[in-house]
Structures are given as C-alpha cells and as structure tokens.
Amino acid sequence: MLIELTGRTALVTGSTQGIGLAIATTLADAGARVAVNGRAGDTVASVIAALREEHADRDLVAAPGDVTDVAGADAVLAATGDIDILVNNLGIFGAMPALDITDDDWRRYFDVNVLAAVRLIRSALPGMKERGWGRVLNIASDSAVVIPAEMIHYGMSKTALLAVSRGFAKDAAGTGVTVNSVLAGPTHTGGVEDFVYELVDRSLPWDEAQREFMRLHRPQSLLQRLIEPEEIANMVAYLSSPLASATTGAAVRVDGGYIDSIVP
C-alpha cells in the first residue's frame, strides 16, 4: 500500500513535538509539503532544521503562530498557503477535580481544543471544496468517549471535536473532501515517562514500567502498552491519502483497544 502525497500541502498544528511532530514527519516522508506550526518561531525553525538534517529532501515550511488567536491563525494560514490537508492536532489537557473547574477553565478548553480547529476548518475548507480534493483531520482522544473523571472539561472538548468532524463532513458531502477525527489512545509523548514513574517502581526498565502502568492504571487497554506517536501518525497519513477516499464523517480509533466498544 503506497501512500503518496507529493504535490499536497499539509498544515499540522502543534507540530514541534509529540504526536504533531510525528504526523508532520510522516506526511513529509510521504511527499507532502508540510507546514510546521508552533507558537515560537525559533522553536519551529530548530525543528525544521533537525528534520532536514535527517532527510534533506523533506519539503517543510515554517508556519509559527498561536492558532488559538485570530491574528495568529491568520499568520499561520498566510505562511502555509493553499491547504490540501489540515490536521488539527493542537490541544491542552490537565487534571482537575470536577467541581473545581471554573467557567474560565471550561471556556479555555473549548477555545483551544475546539474553536481553534473550527476556525482553521472554516478558512481551509472552501478552497478544498473548490479544488475538489482535501482532507481535514481532527485529533481527538479516547477521552471523547471514555470521559475521565479527573478532567471532564478535556473530555468534553474532545467529544465536541467528534461532532465538529461529523458536521463539517456533511458540509463537504460530494465534493471530494473528507473530514474525520482520530481517537488517539494513551500515547508515549513528552512528560509521560515522568508521569509513569510517579506511579510505578522507578527501578523498572521503561518497557516494564509502561506495561506495569498500563496494567495498574489503564487496565482496559488491549495493547497493554503506551501507543507510540508514529503509530498515530501512520493512521493520519492513511486518512490523508487518496486511499481513504471513502472514509469521511468518521471517528477512527488508534486507541490500542482502550475504548470498550465493538462499534467504531
């Protein structure tokens, strides 16, 4: 199965680290021109330099800016140009007792995790529809379905992304543009190792430590280990490609079996 994205331009928000960086790298390796996004211009530049050092022929463009802000989003869009593949990866999360979540907290999570994605879709989708081809992918989470008691505001925002994806897929019906969300499960990203070692024996090697963490704290996972960012990126690359032309309006799972459901 050959994933070929040469001639396509992709914007991946929050792509200087973690899942976003893995997605940007995978799309670039499939031939796409990829706009790397982060709030700080120097960070974006250093990430691009590192990616080009690994493979000099990667087609990368710097698109720094805070996409949660109208002016920042406009700057990112201007730096990127016409978008064929939009990956709304940027998101925030954090634990908080349910009754301590303030109105401002609820608004902030909605603004960052939902409204920023909506704003970019609203800007990119008309051009995709006019050209007759496009891919919009919203990176959601198992928390959209299995709402975590310790961060229901985060779960709410990811549930909202599923509705956003389905709704815009209907708007793009019959145009050659697909809109989907990706339900990512517990993933090995920056800071997660420290979090794991706060909960399990620090003397354990990493492979054993993460499996112990999953056994004790995420027992519903069928994978029984953390997902690597590249595994999320592989699904995104497929959904971004012409091979996924019949998949739209869907919530596609890369959750390691975490969500206890036989329905996607």
What are the residue numbers of the active site?
154
Q: How far from chain centre, in Å, is Cα 4?
A: 20
Structure token pair of residue 14: 């929050």
- Which are the contacts of 46, defined by CB distance < 8 A and separation ≥ 6? none
Radius of gyration (C-alpha) of the chain in whole angstroms: 18
3-class secondary-structure state, position 145: coil
CB atoms within 10 A of CB 97: 10
Q: At 172, which amino acid appears?
A: A
Q: Are 57 and 115 in contact (CB under 8 A)?
A: no
CA distance 197 to 227: 17
Longest Cα separation, the chain: 57
Strand partners for 177: 134
CA distances to 14, 66, 105 from 112, in Å: 11, 10, 11
Q: Are 256 and 223 in contact (CB under 8 A)?
A: yes
Q: Are 113 and 154 in contact (CB under 8 A)?
A: yes
